């Protein structure tokens, strides 16, 4: 959770200060946006090879490689922070580390948690990501009042290096006792599992939903300062909106996946998450009151983000025995390929600089997602069997009663 938190902070750090950063480097808003977009672009060639590494050698080795890259290039970006081209090169290095972290979201819960706890566990990793983005959104506009942009990046790089050190020292691949029921420990080989997953229509539906949902989330996160600037809001206001959006996401990522695990229902909570995100998105598009803007951001974050861990666990259930790393890699690949949404939002920017048309297009795409959810049926989520000793004691009690 901690290493995912720090890399997301490194990803989003320029978004809430797009205008000031463009002035500092003497470049356009689009070039500052590129410092976020390269994270999505790096996923396209790296996701599947990284997934193979995770499924073949385990998450500790894979994440270990990722956190070392994150540390080196995170600190380097602060050291060369006065030059845009060098900052971009270091950002590409950080972006190359991200698949090693994000593609383990389902592998770690599969190793350490029972099946009826895994959506909750994925939700907690999602929560960590959101906290990292929220901290970047809030702290950067505050810090820029006192510190230079290179100094801020150096601090963030140092925190990332500290999180990496903790992971390398303390992470373990497996718990002392297996977390899965008997018969579920073995997974298909990567390419066999890949072929199996791609034959399942429900999985394709979730990939399309991920493409749209994560595209919207990344687009709004990347352009958040530009979205609110035409209505007279400041970079600090944009950072606050981003934080509230992510606060909603943090709460949603914990609450709805836990309810989904408890009830064993996935489709119902996907309806709730995606459907109730639409009013929040419309509010962000039109709100002129800061209070209404914040309420809309919270609503959007709570419901849109909560759907992600539920859908990821649903995918694991309908595609079993596809390996978790392979599955996670495919989902993240589709999600990061949604970088096209970031470009589309810029292309649909209104003459006054607002993103209203692009945001309304996003709302229409969420309606399409609701139709796709209607094609996804629940599968039974098996609980972890009781330990042999406990089960034996119950059996003896029933025998004595008989």
Sign, CA torsion 351/353/356/362: positive
CA separation, residue 265 to residues 308, 312, 380 (Å): 14, 13, 9
Distance from C-alpha of 400 to C-alpha of 105, rounded to nearest angstrom: 46
Q: How many CB atoms lie within 10 A of CB 335?
A: 25
- Class in CATH terms, 2-173+187-381: mainly alpha
For residue 55, what is the DSSP state? H
Q: What is the pLDDT of residue 159?
A: 94
pLDDT tens digits, 51-95? 888 878 888 999 999 999 999 999 999 999 899 999 999 999 999
DSSP state string for 308-353: HHHHHHHHHHHHTTS-HHHHHHHHHHHHHHTHHHHHHHHHT--TTS
Q: What is the pLDDT of residue 91?
A: 94
Q: What is the mean pLDDT of each run of 10 residues along the chain (402 residues)?
A: 92 85 88 85 83 85 94 94 93 93 81 78 79 83 88 93 95 80 48 68 86 84 81 82 84 84 86 91 88 91 86 80 68 71 78 82 91 83 44 44 42
Q: What is the pLDDT of residue 305?
A: 83
Structure tokens at 280: 């929040």
- pTM: predicted TM-score of the whole model, two decimal places: 0.66
Q: What is the pLDDT of residue 400?
A: 47
11, 98 contact by CB (below 8 A): yes
Please give the helix or strand (H or E) that residue 58 lies within, else none. Answer: none
pLDDT tens digits, 305-322? 888 888 887 887 887 777
Cα angle 262-267-273, degrees, rounded to a multiple of 5: 85
98, 7 contact by CB (below 8 A): yes
């Amino acid at each position: 959770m901690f290493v995912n938190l720090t890399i997301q902070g490194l990803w989003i750090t320029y978004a809430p200060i797009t205008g000031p950063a463009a002035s500092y480097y003497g470049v356009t808003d689009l070039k500052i946006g590129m410092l976020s977009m390269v994270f999505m672009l790096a996923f396209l060639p790296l996701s599947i090879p990284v997934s193979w590494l995770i499924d073949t050698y385990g998450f500790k080795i894979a994440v270990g490689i990722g956190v070392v890259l994150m540390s080196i290039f995170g600190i380097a970006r602060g050291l060369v922070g006065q030059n845009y081209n060098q900052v971009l090169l270091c950002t590409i290095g950080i972006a190359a580390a991200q698949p090693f972290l994000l593609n383990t979201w389902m592998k770690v819960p599969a190793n350490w948690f029972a099946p009826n706890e895994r959506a909750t566990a994925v939700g907690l990793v999602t929560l960590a990501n959101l906290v990292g983005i929220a901290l970047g959104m809030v702290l950067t506009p505050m810090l820029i009042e006192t510190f230079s942009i290179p100094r801020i990046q150096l601090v963030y790089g140092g925190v990332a290096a500290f999180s990496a050190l903790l992971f390398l020292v303390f992470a373990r691949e497996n718990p002392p006792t297996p977390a899965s029921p008997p018969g579920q420990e073995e997974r298909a080989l990567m390419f066999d599992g890949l072929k199996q997953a791609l034959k399942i229509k429900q999985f394709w539906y979730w990939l399309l939903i991920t493409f749209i949902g994560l595209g919207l989330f990344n687009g709004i996160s990347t352009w958040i300062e530009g979205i609110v600037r035409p209505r007279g809001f400041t970079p600090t206001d944009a950072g606050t909106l981003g934080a509230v959006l992510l606060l909603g996401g943090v709460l949603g990522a914990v609450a709805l996946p836990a309810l989904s695990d408890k009830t064993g229902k996935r489709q119902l909570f996907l309806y709730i998450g995606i459907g109730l995100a639409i009013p929040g998105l419309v509010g962000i598009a039109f709100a002129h009151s800061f209070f209404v803007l914040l309420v809309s951001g919270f609503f959007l974050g709570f419901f849109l983000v909560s759907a992600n861990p539920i859908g990821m666990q649903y995918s694991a259930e309908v595609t079993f025995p596809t390996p978790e790393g392979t599955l996670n890699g495919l989902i993240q690949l589709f999600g990061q390929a949604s970088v096209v949404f970031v470009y589309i939002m810029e292309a649909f920017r209104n003459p006054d600089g607002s993103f209203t048309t692009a945001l309304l297009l996003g709302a229409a795409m969420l309606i399409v997602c609701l139709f796709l959810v209607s094609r996804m049926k629940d599968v039974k989520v098996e609980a972890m069997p009781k330990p042999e000793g406990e089960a034996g004691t119950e059996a003896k009690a029933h025998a004595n009663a008989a």
